[in-house]
């Protein structure tokens, strides 16, 4: 391959995704997301198949190439390009160093909604922090940020850590933002607690018992679903 990887990948991506456009589905998908973003309209299964075609035969990216492609996908109008970037970053989470968190922050706070934020929080930022533990200090800062999507990311970044979860941080983050006014933060608290209950249900029960007067009804309801 003589062309730079980002140029080749992005050319393939736009050509392949554009050709698969389904206008009727696109209208439905946009309506589901409250008409915040335009869509190409194909299904998640189709997206996965198309993405495999796009990357077939391409070499593994460098950190700079990951950054270039992800930011370029965020500049494209249709939401499926951002989904591609989230999946590609997840696949190559072992590539970037700790400084890549600044790029992740840009992606999280640009054109934000739960669909991309949650994918980045639970499958990319979480992996980045697990590999570069000094980034836990950044999560401490994010959970106190005015941007609700950074708060949500901090709360959810340990979602798939299982027994490796830093419970002091998990419970501390939930307590810190228990009174947050936004639905997406309250929902994240419940989701994070419910998921950790798969690993240590007694710890979550104890936490809920001690903080039931502090947590919102939404957070409590979500956290208790499988207890």
pLDDT tens digits for range 53-68: 999 999 999 999 999 9
Residues 6+ apart with CB under 8 A from 221: 190
Asked if residue 6 has pLDDT above 90, the reply is: yes
Write down the pTM of the prediction: 0.96
Is the pLDDT confidence value at 2 over 80?
Answer: no
DSSP 125: I
Query: Mean of the pLDDT values across residues 27-41?
Result: 96
What does the pLDDT look like over 168-194, one tens digit per residue? 999 999 999 999 999 999 999 999 999
190 vs 1: CA distance, rounded Å: 47
Number of H helices and E strands in the chain, helices first, is 14, 0
pLDDT bracket for residue 50 (50, 70, 90): very high
The answer to whether 61 touches 94, Cβ cutoff 8 Å, is no
pLDDT for the residue 1: 55
Residue pLDDT, tens place only, 122-160: 999 999 999 999 999 999 999 999 999 999 999 999 999
Dihedral angle sign, alpha carbons of residues 2, 82, 125, 198: negative
Chain segment 78-115, per-residue pLDDT in tens: 999 999 999 999 999 999 999 999 999 999 999 999 99
For each of the domains in the chain, give its residue range(s) and CATH number, in order of start.
1-96 (1.25.10.90), 101-227 (1.25.10.90)
Given a cut of 60, whether residue 69 has pLDDT beyond it is: yes
Q: What is the pLDDT of residue 68?
A: 98
Nearest to 159 by CA among 173, 146, 145, 147: 173
């Amino acid at each position: 391959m003589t062309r730079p990887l980002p140029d080749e990948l992005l050319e393939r991506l736009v050509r392949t995704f554009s050709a698969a456009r389904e206008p009727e589905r696109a209208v439905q998908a946009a309506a589901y997301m409250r008409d915040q973003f335009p869509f190409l309209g194909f299904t998640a299964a189709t997206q996965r198949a198309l993405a495999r075609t796009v990357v077939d035969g391409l070499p593994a990216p460098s950190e700079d190439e990951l950054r270039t492609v992800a930011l370029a996908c965020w500049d494209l109008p249709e939401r499926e390009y951002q989904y591609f970037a989230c999946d590609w970053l997840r696949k190559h989470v072992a590539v970037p160093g700790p400084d890549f968190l600044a790029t992740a922050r840009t992606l999280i706070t640009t054109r934000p909604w739960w669909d991309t934020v949650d994918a980045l929080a639970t499958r990319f930022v979480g992996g980045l922090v697990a590999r570069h533990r000094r980034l836990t200090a950044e999560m401490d800062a994010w959970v106190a940020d005015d941007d609700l999507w950074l708060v949500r990311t901090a709360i959810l970044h340990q979602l798939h850590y299982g027994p490796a979860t830093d419970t002091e941080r998990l419970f501390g983050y939930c307590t810190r933002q228990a009174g947050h006014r936004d639905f997406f933060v309250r929902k994240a608290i419940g989701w994070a607690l419910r998921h950790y209950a798969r690993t240590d249900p007694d710890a979550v029960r104890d936490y809920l018992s001690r903080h039931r007067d502090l947590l919102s009804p939404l957070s409590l309801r979500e956290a208790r679903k499988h207890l």
